[in-house]
Amino acid sequence: MPVLSPLAPVPTVACEPTPLPAVVGADLGVPSRSGTVRYGNLDHAASTPALAAVKQAVDTALGSYASVHRGAGWASRLTSAWYEQARDEVARFVGARTCDEVVFTRTTTDSWNLLARVLPADAVVLAFESEHHSTLLPWGPDRTVRLPVPSSIDDALARLDQALATRPAPARLVVLSAASNVTGEVWPVERFAAVAHAHGARLAVDAAQLAAHRPIDLGRWDADYLAFSGHKVYAPFGAGVLVGRQDWLDAGSPYLVGGGATRSVTQFATSWQTGPARHEGGSPNVVGAIALAAACATISGHWDAIVRHEARLLEQLRSGLRSVPGVRLLSIRDGDEDGVGVVAFTVAGLDPALVSQVLSWEHGLGVRDGKFCAHLLVDRLLDERPSATAVRASIGLGTTPEAVDRLVVGLRRLVEHGPLDRWAHDGTAWVLADGDGRDGHAVARPW
């Protein structure tokens, strides 16, 4: 009997532009000062909305939902098949090689902690201080070499080359974010892989901020490991993936000790599985894996439309922000605008936390403020002022041109006239001095 799949095929029409894939909640109404308005989603760098195709795949999978592997019943056999098909779909999405393992995890952070667990004991890890905390911190301070925030691609490559030449070790790993979650700037992964391999080191690529915006090709890049999360690629929370070379993964201790990771257990000894099962102990998040695979399949069939859509929005966002007096866009590489749809900025004389609250209350916009889990980078971009933060606007399939216009108009109004209401800082956050109607906004629980 053929095995059905919840991963619906992506339709294509010859000689016609591919439409953008639909997202769930595109017409979400949110409370604001002027009443309910359509949500302006400019927070995709934190998490993306789910695709309608992902929801359909999950709904299908739940109809025969069962625990995977070792079950003789039809529901378990079917769900197990879908789980392994999801692994194959993710491998295609990232351009994995036939020898690469695909391990399902919870998040990108979880993936890097898994890799840190299996590194050889004498391994040294090199990372730029521009990295997200999830790629900077899991390895441990004693074996992590931090390289300064680079000023350009050539500067980064030269610093990495010098560091590898002067810090020999039996095993070395370079970790690199393919795209910055603060500035959106994209790094040429294949060039960093070449430098790392010239010194006998390996390269691990954090693709969390790239995967939803540009195609990934692990094989062409010649990188050794790669990780990203479902919630960054229009799938729900709870599923991530680590893809890469087998030897360290199969030699290291299991990340999750328990059922599924074991080959045999006796009174005297335990032997462990090899391959992905070694690190997927317990009952895996099969629905999360199916959701992630559905997102990968859908995105893969719409790359041209996605890239065009985001290029237009990013140009609109950058030019609009630059037109507002006092707005400063942050960048690592001055003058180099090769990036995905993530823009961090400051507004002269205004606390970024207040800016984000005003944009939400007065205009129904979702942006983010803070240091975005990249404290060293933000401190560097803001002239080493530890107390300084920024605002971040990030675009994706849930962003409309109208939302970008609303952001620019809202910022200009704020700069020229100030907030429409009185705000006070309670020591933790900015709050409306006369009370926030949203605090009592009645929303039924989803269950």
- Give the three-class secondary structure for 419: coil
Contact present, 83 and 135 (Cβ < 8 Å)? no
Provide the β-strand partners of residue 227: 206, 242
Respond yes or no: is residue 373 known to be catalytic: yes
Say how far apart CA 59 and CA 61 lie, in whole Å: 6
Residue 419's contacts (CB-CB under 8 Å, 6 or more residues apart) are 354, 358, 362
CA angle at residue 297 from 296 to 303, to 5 degrees? 80
Strands (E), 308-375: 327-329, 342-347, 365-366, 368-370
- Give, as one character, the DSSP assignment of residue 185: B
b/e code 194-205 from CB counts within 10 Å (16+ = b) = ebbeebebbbbb
Record the tokens describing residue 442, joined without a space.
Answer: 């009645």
- Give the three-class secondary structure for 244: strand
Say how far apart CA 167 and CA 431 lie, in whole Å: 50
- Give the three-class secondary structure for 166: helix
Contact present, 421 and 434 (Cβ < 8 Å)? yes
In which region does residue 45 sit, left (phi positive, over 0), alpha (psi from -120 to 50) or beta (all else)? alpha
Closest among 368, 366, 386 to 377, alpha carbons compared = 386
Residue 222's contacts (CB-CB under 8 Å, 6 or more residues apart) are 190, 193, 194, 197
To which residue do tokens 């975005």 refer?
Answer: 372
CA angle at residue 248 from 245 to 253, to 5 degrees? 135
Say how far apart CA 314 and CA 317 lie, in whole Å: 5
* Amino acid letter, 36: T
Residues recognised as catalytic: 373
